[in-house]
Chains A and B, each alone.
Chain A
Amino acid sequence: MRIAIEAVGVLAPGLPDWDSTQAVLAGRQPFASAPLAPCAPASLPPAERRRSSPTVRLAIAAAEQALQRTAIPPQDMALVFSSPEAAGVITHQLCEVLAGSREVSPTQFHNSVHNAPSGYYSIAMNAKLGATSVCRGPWSFAAGLLGAAVQALCDDVPVLYVCYDSPLPAPLSDVMPVLEATVIALVIAPRPTAATLAAWRLAVAPAEGDVAWPGWMPGAWRANASARGFAALATLSGGAGASAALPLSTELNVQVARC
């Protein structure tokens, strides 16, 4: 499968956008962690911004970055969002309430669905094509990328792909230790355009041992499924033939090769 990467958005502590990320991936700048400012996506009306969860705001803020770097209107894109745990802090709040008074807030409940980020995004952007939200635990980046690629190719439509991890509070963080936020947003086109950054050839292949994490990456991010995407982004700084392996299961990888 061959897809075109049109634009990238990134949010992580120390990587506030694609330009700074590219500098680190290309080795022009050392990685330096810096607290991530709270996200306030411009496209969310103030009321929705207040009602939405931090995960929703995080995913949409990274998506907005990618949109600013492409001429493709958001209304023309199908959506594939992926996360190992999209509800996170909302799940914690709900479970606390359910263990006590059981007086659940209606907003909290609708924010608890895994597709809340893509739902809020579709409302903010008036994006009316299909929206799919995927979970594949630690392999969520590769799984979502495949889902986005097959949709772009089968439906001949650009796809906004966003994969994200949002920090979890204790005690959930004891069993799912996501401590820092990481998000990668990609605008994917079914074939190259004048503005294409690079084309990727994707293939599913048997995994041969564990895939190594990038050396520059903080160890804490290894709990984040979305951080697997940095290896794929590094191919955008490399030349033709640059490649990366993204784990899809214990037995399979997605091989990404720049072409």
Chain B
Amino acid sequence: MVMQPLAVLSYTTTSAAGLGKADTARALREERSGLAPNDLPWAPLECWIGRIVAAESVALPEALGAFDCRNNRLALLALEQDGFLDAVAAARARLGAGRIAVFLGTSTSGILSTELAYQGRDPATGSLPAAFRYDTVHNLDATTEFVRRVLGLAGPAMTISTACSSSAKVFCLAERFIRQGLADAAVVGGVDSLCHTTLYGFSALQLVAPDICRPFDTARRGLTIGEAAGFALLERGAGALQLMGYGETSDAHHMSAPHPEGDGARRAMLEALERAQLSARQIDYINLHGTATPANDRAEGRAVHGIFGTGTPCSSTKGVTGHTLGAAGITEAAIALLSLEHDFQPGSPTTREVDPETQCAFTPHGQARKLARVMSNSFGFGGNNCALVFGKGA
């Protein structure tokens, strides 16, 4: 399995760490976390969160009012950063709206609206409030269709929802669509926003840290949930920044726990290297999935060590952004691309003492370093794994 590199023409990321690339790069360089103690009035849980307050007051265009929900407000806020709308408009003018696909990942879409609608059910009939819309708000495809309309694109579109690997896998789908000639370019990305389902659900699984998350730390106690949105515009051919490879596997082990030695993660990374025709030595930095749950970090660290030994520096940026679930893939793909653009290897500012059990070369402090090729890992429930490789073009 080999692939020709795809150009990354434009990309953008919005999370609690920052709105857009410059803010995010600054947070990474200054080792500043965007996470804060939970202040959501509607979900009083003892934990930290990565909240994007600026998204909450975003107004959707009137014609798309039916799509109004937290997830789509966040999507629009992110689309407006870094000149992304202009980049897509230029590609649309050059290639035609029908030749650009839209593939987004999410785990919960606008489910917060449904949760609130259930709080407002008619006590007598049990019916939902009359104003509630399912198809444009809660359906997992709602944000994809919203983004497609905002961007004025008419190519094939769909949503991938494989929990926390969702918005990594959209890169793989885009490469295949472009290779088969179904599109010349693709907008890929992901959007996930804070909701009761994930906050209370991960708490029920005892996977949420009471304190801020500390990836790969000896004393790590779980993840911190954040919200995020991000997008990338991919096109056939080489570019200054490129998608070079990807790997997708299943653990076939457990619905919510990783394979103890990270077997599926290992196979995903090897497949990504094979597609990119690179050896492990040629990867300069790995942005880990690194959720900071005891089991996940141990499994991933050992899988990375099995392939890369201690020769490749790696870190998790979830202490900066939080675990943004269905948006984690695009958030960390964007961080990988930022690291290439800035020749800066991000650290993990909330990690205090690296757990030796994780074995790999976890590097808590960021540093300026020439980077040519980087890997980004994303793993989700259902044992769903995806590894991406990005690099600089010749």
The answer to whether A172 touches B134, judged by C-beta atoms less than 8 angstroms apart, is: yes
The answer to whether B159 touches A104, judged by C-beta atoms less than 8 angstroms apart, is: no
Q: Does A179 contact B (CB under 8 A)?
A: no
Give the CA-CA distance A130 to B126 in the complex, in Å. 41
Give the CA-CA distance A91 to B137 in the complex, in Å. 14
Stretch of A11-19, A146-154, A214-222, A235-243 with 4 or more beta carbons under 8 angstroms from chain B: A146-154
Interface residues of B (CB under 8 A from A): 1, 98, 107, 111, 114-115, 117-119, 121, 126-128, 132-135, 139-142, 144-145, 154, 156-163, 169, 172-173, 175-177, 179-180, 182, 196-197, 200-205, 247-256, 264, 267, 380-384, 386
Residue of B nearest to A251 (CB): B154
Residue of A nearest to B386 (CB): A130
Give the CA-CA distance A16 to B163 in the complex, in Å. 31
Of B121, B128, B182, which is within 8 A of A150 by CB? B182
Give the CA-CA distance A128 to B264 in the complex, in Å. 7
Q: Which of B160, B203, B247 has the most CB of A within 10 A?
A: B160
Q: Do A115 and B197 contact each other (CB < 8 Å), given the known contacts A123-B254, A175-B128? A: no
Of B128, B139, B179, B196, which is within 8 A of A84 by CB? B139
* 8 A Cβ contacts from A49-91 to B: 78-79, 84-86, 91
Residue of B nearest to A51 (CB): B255
The answer to whether B173 touches A113, judged by C-beta atoms less than 8 angstroms apart, is: no
Could you say which residues of chain B place their CB within 8 Å of the CB of A128?
A: 249-252, 264, 267
Could you say which residues of chain A place their CB within 8 Å of the CB of B157?
A: 136, 143, 249
Total inter-chain residue pairs, C-beta < 8 Å:
212
Give the CA-CA distance A128 to B256 in the complex, in Å. 16
Could you say which residues of chain B place their CB within 8 Å of the CB of A112?
A: 197, 201
Could you say which residues of chain B place their CB within 8 Å of the CB of A248?
A: 156
The answer to whether B121 touches A115, judged by C-beta atoms less than 8 angstroms apart, is: no
Q: Sort A-B residue pairs by CB-CB distance and give the 3 closest, nearest first.
A: A119-B382, A130-B248, A109-B201
Residue of B nearest to A120 (CB): B255
Residue of B nearest to A144 (CB): B158
Could you say which residues of chain A place their CB within 8 Å of the CB of B248?
A: 78, 129-132
Stretch of A22-30, A94-102, A192-200 with 4 or more beta carbons under 8 angstroms from chain B: A94-102
Q: Which of A105, A115, A174 has the most CB of B within 10 A?
A: A115
Could you say which residues of chain B place their CB within 8 Å of the CB of A135?
A: 139-141, 158-161
Q: Do A79 and B156 contact each other (CB < 8 Å), given the known contacts A122-B382, A128-B267, A175-B132? A: no
The answer to whether B249 touches A129, judged by C-beta atoms less than 8 angstroms apart, is: yes
Instruction: Knowing that A91-B111, A132-B169 touch, tell me 18 more A-B residue pairs with CB under 8 angstroms.
Output: A94-B197, A95-B118, A104-B200, A104-B201, A106-B204, A113-B381, A114-B163, A115-B384, A119-B381, A122-B382, A127-B252, A133-B160, A135-B140, A135-B158, A147-B158, A176-B135, A206-B98, A251-B98
Q: Does A234 contact B (CB under 8 A)?
A: no
Distance to closest chain B CB from A81 (angstroms): 9
Give the CA-CA distance A117 to B172 in the complex, in Å. 21
Please, what's the 1-or-0 string for A1-14, where 1 marks a CB less than 8 Å from any CB in chain B?
10000000000000
Could you say which residues of chain B place their CB within 8 Å of the CB of A85?
A: 139-140
Give the CA-CA distance A16 to B180 in the complex, in Å. 35
Q: Do A118 and B128 contact each other (CB < 8 Å), given the known contacts A128-B251, A252-B156? A: no
